[in-house]
Chains A and B, each alone.
Chain A
Amino acid sequence: MATAFFVIIALMLVVYSVLDGFDLGVGTIHWLIGRTREERRVVLSAIGPVWDGNEVWLIAAAGTLYFAFPALYASSFSGFYLPLTMVLWLLMMRGISIEVRSHVDDPLWHNLYDFVFTLSGALLTIFLGAALGNVIRGVPLDADGYFFEPIWTTFRVTGSVGILDWYTLLIGLMSFVTLANHGAHWLALKTRDQLQQRARRLAARLWWLVTLLTVVGFFATVWVQPKILENYLTPSWGWLIPVVALGGLGGMAIFGARQKDLAAFVSSSLYIAGMLGGVAFGMYPTLLPSITDPAYSLTLANSAAGAYGLQVGLVWWILGALLVIAYFCYVYWMFRHRVDGTGGTHQ
């Protein structure tokens, strides 16, 4: 039962990364793609109707984590106290900047919120990537299952570590580039003419960087956390996950070159899903490794909630997920057209 919730939470985080990932990516490249105020308005309208629903995946994933693995929730949220609180501030800035920009028709006002939107989006991608890096590397858990990390210490991956070290920064950079690329694919899919051309060009250039970082990130991860390969040593269906990631990487290049925007965006989504899924498969059944003593690691066995609660939770979760899929299909269907410069098609 705990395994079911491991899969569910991993799935929710993958969906969050794919969906809100393009919102954040659009934020990151907002100033590169939109050169004028009007163009930036169009860029924003490409995520306007969906960003809030996409962000809910993070809230819902955190809630599900809370009830399924309370010990992990308590330990990780208090251990990552400072960066997590900063993520909250950045999420506030991101949401506010999207929503209030249109309320006042003034160049200064627009520039201010375009800037806040870009800054918060870019920082969020780095923070969320660094958080993933911390979970892979492991944290200094004590015998009670708690830890506290300052934001940085020596930038080394052993000893008294901080949130930021060379490895977590690398994963943060990888997340930044991957999501910028993902956002470019989304804009190529949702915009027209010049904006679309720019987005396609940017995605084509970022592809090389994504590929390079995939290779560097892979070797760095194996070096920092060799155990992540253990689950791959025996042949299983899990091997398919990295294949999906590589397929997505290839698909981005192939479909991007042929200007098949939807296929390229789907490839980018599969790449993200494959990379995150590959990590989750490698970690199982560990949830948060300890770098002080492997015995202190948080696992499915020592973190899961009671069996009855998990059973009830599975029933309502499936029911809820079916409803959510229906809402998302409906909203994305209503918003299926490309946005343009004439006031947005989602009106």
Chain B
Amino acid sequence: MDSALAVDRLQFAFTITYHYLFPQLTMGLALLILVLKTVALRTGDERYDDSARFWARIFGINFVFGVVTGIPMEFQFGTNWAAFSKYAGGVIGQTLAMEGMFAFFLESAFLGLFLFGERRLGPRGHWFAAFLVFIGSWLSGYFIVVTDAWMQHPVAHQLMPNGTVQLSSFVALLGNPWALWQYAHTMSGAAITGSVVMASVGAFYVLSGRAIEHGQRFLKVGVIAGCIFSILQLFPTGDQQGRMVAKYQPVTLAAMEALFTTGPGAPLVIIGQPNMDERSLDNAIAVPSMLSFLTYRHWDATVQGLDAFPTATWPDNVPLLYYAYHIMVGLGTIMIAILLISALLLWRDRLTTSRWMLWILMLMLPFPYIANTAGWMTAEIGRQPWLVYGLMRTSGGISPKVSAGNGLFTLLGFMGMYTILSLLFLFLVYREIEHGPAKPAASAAH
């Protein structure tokens, strides 16, 4: 903590992790609200509009917290990572600026109309406002993923005599193959968060007997959407993402799996603790040959272990990377199981009477948040020790003149600020859920 590099990394990790708790629900709910609005518009069923209104209130609160915690992200590239910004701004500045021009303006213009303009816009106009808010939030996601994908797999650039990289192909930047799968995987993850939150609140309403009719609808939409997206999360998006890592960052794959030695028929580890001193995995439970199959579609294919790479190119925190990856995959698998069984019960019309399942659905609320966070940790810790893979080391990217002391001042400030924001968020969302879907808890007017 006494080095500027450690403080800068910690501050970015802390602020981005905290920030992403909000947009994942924003993007997920934007899709599900659009689904509810579409059903209401096509069938004329008022109850779907009522449900959409309830979720729009949660969405509104969540959106504000996402906006205010998002602003520091763009600014921190300049404040804490000046050397990186000077080096790569000519490339990734493009996508960050486009996010502002094409996504933020769209969202900010139509969010207010979506939240407060239902009477004035009429059913079709209001559906369209919901649609534009959905487009804005999902576009925003694309520009951010393209930015990260360029850091993971830098394409479309050329090195200049002044030591910076500049854009060489706009189309290649936006069509980075890494970005396409990463985007699908990220968005599917956000949709899971939206679905699980909806199903979880629905389970609460049915279990507590408060708003059973609304609760059942939340369960239906949440479970069906959650089931679809949790499967998409594994296949094809997660699978393809993994193959992308194997192809372009083989050392990262080895570290994610804590595969220390190269060999044929590499096992897929389910659980175990990496021991960096012995370069082994303690208490390992593994599926033999599975990693070889998943990576190369061949049971005895050779997978490169960490021993195939110089130590200086290993991710700098192998155990944390390993745990982040396994937590993501583990929770993802558990969620698929829960949502599949729930969908089966829903199909047999027994979900609302299966109280044990409703309890599980209600309590699984944190799972998608943890899994999405762990997924991003896997991507970002896995990229280490590079800031831009193969081009710039993380240690070379920080602001040369910002001292550790000044960095720690702002890090502690952000921690204090976000503690207060957390309390405020939980209080406001609790009030909305407590009040239920019947009518607005307070005047929606400003």
User: Is B321 an interface position by the 8 A CB rule?
Assistant: no
Q: Which of A49-85 contact B (CB under 8 A)?
A: 49-50, 52-53, 55-56, 59-60, 62-64, 66-68, 70-71, 73-79, 81-82, 84-85
Whether A92 contacts B71 by the Cβ 8 Å rule is yes
Residues of B in contact with A (beta carbons under 8 Å apart): 60-61, 64-65, 67-69, 71-72, 74-75, 77-80, 82-83, 85-94, 96-102, 104-106, 108-113, 116-117, 119-120, 158, 160, 164, 166-168, 170, 399-403, 406, 409-410, 413, 417, 421, 424, 428, 431, 441-446
Instruction: Please choose the segment from A164-172, A251-259, A305-313 that sits at the chain B interface, where 4 or more of its residues have CB less than 8 A away.
Output: A305-313
Contact B67 A49 (CB under 8 A): no
Is B402's CB under 8 angstroms from A78's CB?
yes
Question: Complex formed: what's the CA distance from A66 to B75 in Å?
Answer: 10
Q: Smallest Cβ distance from B44 to chain A, in angstroms?
A: 24
Q: Number of A-B pairs whose CB atoms are under 8 Å?
A: 243
- Whether a CB of chain B sits under 8 angstroms from the CB of A223 is no
Contacts of A71 in B (CB 8 A): 86, 89
Which B residues touch A67, using CB under 8 A?
89-90, 92-94, 96-97
CA–CA, A209 and B119, complex, Å: 44
Complex contact B111–A306 (CB within 8 A)? no
Residues of chain A within 8 A (CB-CB) of B101 are 60, 63-64, 316-317, 320-321, 323-324
Contact between chains at A75 and B82 (CB < 8 Å): yes
Instruction: Decide if A73 touches B85 in the complex (CB within 8 Å).
Output: yes
Question: Which of B87, B108, B413 has its CB near the most chain A CB atoms (within 10 A)?
Answer: B108
Check A327 for interface membership: any CB of B closer than 8 A: yes
CA distance A45 to B166 in the complex (A): 45
Known: A95-B67, A309-B90. 5 other contacts (CB 8 A): A60-B105, A66-B74, A66-B85, A78-B400, A334-B113
Chain A's closest residue to B417 (CB) is: A89
Provide 19 A-B residue pairs closer than 8 Å at the C-beta atoms, listed in order of the A residue. A45-B445, A49-B113, A64-B101, A70-B93, A73-B77, A78-B78, A78-B79, A78-B402, A85-B413, A95-B64, A100-B424, A100-B428, A102-B442, A102-B446, A305-B90, A313-B97, A344-B445, A344-B446, A346-B116
Contact between chains at A78 and B399 (CB < 8 Å): yes
- Give the residue of A52, A76, A84 whose beta carbon is less than 8 angstroms from that of B67: A52
Q: Say whether B443 contacts A309, CB under 8 Å.
A: no
Measured CB to CB, the residues of A under 8 A from B are 41, 44-45, 48-50, 52-53, 55-56, 59-60, 62-64, 66-68, 70-71, 73-79, 81-82, 84-85, 88-89, 91-92, 95-96, 98-105, 144-148, 305-306, 308-309, 312-313, 316-317, 320-321, 323-324, 327-328, 330-331, 334, 343-344, 346-347
Taken together as a complex, chains A and B put the C-alpha atoms of A53 and B170 apart, in Å, by: 27
Taking A98-B446, A330-B109 as contacts, is the C-beta distance between A63 and B96 under 8 angstroms?
Answer: yes
Q: How far is the CA of A105 from the CA of B402 in the complex (A)?
A: 44
How far in angstroms is the closest Cβ of chain A from B143?
10
Residues of A within 8 A of B99 (CB): 63
The docked-state distance in angstroms from the alpha carbon of A64 to that of B188 is 29
